[in-house]
Structure 1
Amino acid sequence: MTAPGRRALCLALGTASALGFGRFAYGLVLPAMAEDLHWDLARAGAMTAANGLGYLAGAVATATLARRIGVAATFRLGMVLCTVALAATAAGGHYTALLAARVLAGIAGALVFIAGAVLSPTAIYFAGAGAGILISGIAIPPLVDYAPQRWPLAWLGLAVAAGLATVASWTAAHPAGSVGEAPTTAPVRRLWPVATVYLLYAAGYLAYITFLSAYLQDRHASTAQTMLVWILLGVAVMAAPRLWQRPIRHWPGGRTLTVLLGVIAVATTPLLLWPTPAIVMISAIAYGVTFMAVPAAVTEIVRTSTPPESMTRTLSTFTVIFALGQMAGPWLAGALADRTTPGTTLGWTAAWCGAAAALAAAAVRAAPDGSSRVRGSPPVDHESILRQRS
């Protein structure tokens, strides 16, 4: 493996911790927490909304932090905060304290995701979330399914794993050319169709993975089935970069976003009609192989439309937009499910991602050279970007 590949693998421990453990593993622990702490789905969704609020705060702060302490130090700080947040989640069952811990995990997630996306030399970085989901899917269901009161042990185990990932990724997050950016105006207005698509996606996608285990529990799925679904989901996320790398780099305009979001919508819908174990597994694979590819596709559009000196600021702005949708979506989906069934959360994902796919097809156009760059964006010197990221 090349040196950039090894570095990307180490940096991918960031998405494994900040996203796989800090955000997505909550969906696995949620049924046990809800049973032990007597939550309804609205209160459970509010936890994810709190995580989204923290993600919003972190996204706002990232560009300033990167300018003052450097992108590498920002990544390392996020990894440390993620470990602390996971340990704090294990500390007790007081609702307000848990909300605060989820906010901190969101802040850490934004710092790690944005800084790591700037530092990482390859798209392998985005596969790290799949590794976090895979580890969580293997470890958590056997621990909590028959003893829901043991949910703090699940968070403690995730905190230990995040701490090990912090140590392992520390030297890979070395300063690159993007450190110390000067403040610039991010060209988000030129990229408004992409930003709007990202907002709709954020409002919808997280409901699926947040409430997937609750949906399976409502269908009386066994521990083995829940484990298998999450393992397949994690493996699919890990496979996504290899599957989508060429389309993301070479398909024109919004075609990649349209296909990815369309697959998510189509993969979610059959669960509402034919909730058999086989359909659940197929849906998890299709969702897993696409949902983390959407941020990768948006990052590539930003990268090819933005000068290197504006990269961190522009990604931070897009992450703020993403966080706004992510903050509201799960709470609203959970409140709606309390008045209907847990399956409503899957319909929520299908509806919002379907709308995002339609908008991407209609509004995100190819640049004159056929690249992913949105029309009206200035060309970017890719050799300069590669030199900055080497």
Structure 2
Amino acid sequence: MKILTALLGGASALFLAMGVARFAFTPVLPLMQSDFGFSDTVSGALASVNYLGYLLGAFYAGYLSVTKRAYPFFIVSIPVSLLLVGVMYIHNYPLWYVVRFISGFLSAVVFVMSAEFIMDHLAKYRRPHLGGVIYSGIGGGMVLSGMTVPMLSEYFNSSQIWLWLAVLSIPPAIIAIKYTPKPDTYEKTVPKTGKSVNRLIYLLSAAYLLEGAGYIITGTFISVIVMRGTGSVILSGYVWVIAGLGAVVMTPMWAILARHTGVANAMIAAFAVQALSIAAPVISDGMFATMVGAVGFGGTFLGIVSLALAYGRQLSPGGTTTSVLTVFFSIGQITGPLIAGYIADRTGDFKIPVLLAASAVALGGLLTYIIKIGEKHADT
């Protein structure tokens, strides 16, 4: 029971801080553009400032994780994240940038702390393989936001929908505060310092950076792409629901695959599926390809996150590996939306940004294969 409640607490924390406070921006974005008339470049900037906050939050989480302030800061971050979702109701561009920045900062802290609290808790019960379950909470938040937008768009504008998302996120916030386990100790093991391990961590960081840059282009603009292609608010929202459902169902399966084939092989497979899924709308024009791609995208990006963090711990146990990898991931997330938004404004569509995203992810898979080969040589 303690394992189940801990997983529920960690999943609920990610449901709010990541699935809603961070990713609800994607399905609400087409309505915000319609209501307030801002460009793709501004959209990309609003997304990137969130990821800049995420980057700095990842840095801070690395410091925070070895102090006694980690758990109290985590607990405070939950209601503040909830409040910031509601503050998006106010139509004020400078305020939006501030809110998205702080939301990104707190989402990184909650993400890193949740992962560490839950992994440490599971380690006590010798169930570390269950850690990937909490990432399904992010998919749950995506489903909530994706369903809320089309259901309420006929009656409320984008600002009011943000308020509704805040209200609907109160239950998971309460569950996160109540059930996320408090760490027993703040002592950290010293990471390995061998040159071969360090080189592999650098390569994994590079692969994770490419994943951050590649996946976030789809993660930011997929609803906008569908809205412009179909003119349907309902489809633009439901494509995010499908991505969220893919995340909920498929994310735990990558952990199962990793147990049978190894973490590296599972990561390579996830990278390959995601690259094809991102490119699907360009490879085959039409809503069917886009929806199938959404399933593959949603079903892999959280899987790659959980696998990369697990692989990082495998290559360099202990220390602040989670926060270091998250920093590189964040750098990719910052650059992706800025580049994609700018190119979309210049070319008039998202074909080139989508292909760049798929290429970045494919390259991340290639680097993971190189890491796998390097790991074998390091062990011999």
| Structure-2-length-normalised TM-score | 0.88
Matched residue type, 1:101: V
* Residue 180, structure 1, aligned to residue 186, structure 2: yes
Partner SS state of residue 189, structure 1: helix
Q: CA deviation at 1:278?
A: 1.4
Aligned to 1:106: 104
Q: Report the Cα distance in structure 2 between the residues aligned to 1:223 and 1:30, rounded to whole angstroms.
A: 11
Q: 1:299 to 1:375 in 2, by over 3 A?
A: farther
CA contact (8 A) 1:85 1:105 kept: yes
Greater helix proportion: 2
Aligned to 2:127: none
Specify which of 344, 352, 355 is matched with residue 344 of structure 1. Answer: 352
Q: Report the Cα distance in structure 2 between the residues aligned to 1:68 and 1:80, rounded to whole angstroms.
A: 21
Aligned to 1:358: 366
* Residue 124, structure 1, aligned to residue 125, structure 2: no
How many residue pairs get matched? Answer: 364
Matched residue type, 2:47: T
Comparing 76-85 with 349-358, which one deviates more in the overlay?
76-85
Aligned to 1:64: 63
Query: Structure 2 regions of 5+ residues with no counterpart?
Result: 123-129
Aligned to 1:27: 26
Q: CA deviation at 1:347?
A: 2.0
Matched residue type, 2:187: E
Comparing 256-265 with 153-162, which one deviates more in the overlay?
153-162
Q: 1:215 to 1:5 in 2, by over 3 A?
A: same
Q: 1:183 to 1:331 in 2, by over 3 A?
A: farther
Comparing 6-15 with 53-62, which one deviates more in the overlay?
6-15
Deviations 1:110-153 (A, max 9, x none): 01100111122322111001100111111112323x57x71111
Q: Report the Cα distance in structure 1 between the residues aligned to 2:270 and 2:346, rounded to whole angstroms.
A: 30
Partner SS state of residue 176, structure 1: coil
Q: CA deviation at 1:375?
A: 4.2
Q: Report the Cα distance in structure 1 between the residues aligned to 2:55 and 2:249, rounded to whole angstroms.
A: 28
> What is the root-mean-square deviation in Å for CA atoms of aligned residues?
2.3
Q: Report the Cα distance in structure 2 between the residues aligned to 1:95 and 1:249, rounded to whole angstroms.
A: 47
* Residue 333, structure 1, aligned to residue 340, structure 2: yes
Q: Report the Cα distance in structure 2 between the residues aligned to 1:307 and 1:265, rounded to whole angstroms.
A: 29
Matched residue type, 1:342: F
Q: CA deviation at 1:206?
A: 0.7
Q: Report the Cα distance in structure 1 between the residues aligned to 2:205 and 2:22, rounded to whole angstroms.
A: 22
Aligned to 1:136: 145
Comparing 69-78 with 34-43, which one deviates more in the overlay?
69-78
Aligned to 2:95: 97
Deviations 1:202-241 (A, max 9, x none): 1111110211111011112434433432222111100123
| Structure-1-length-normalised TM-score | 0.86
Partner SS state of residue 180, structure 2: coil
Q: CA deviation at 1:73?
A: 2.5
Matched residue type, 1:181: E
* Residue 275, structure 1, aligned to residue 285, structure 2: yes
Q: Report the Cα distance in structure 2 between the residues aligned to 1:198 and 1:6, rounded to whole angstroms.
A: 30
Q: In percent, how many aligned pairs have the same letter?
A: 24
Q: Report the Cα distance in structure 1 between the residues aligned to 2:374 and 2:305, rounded to whole angstroms.
A: 18
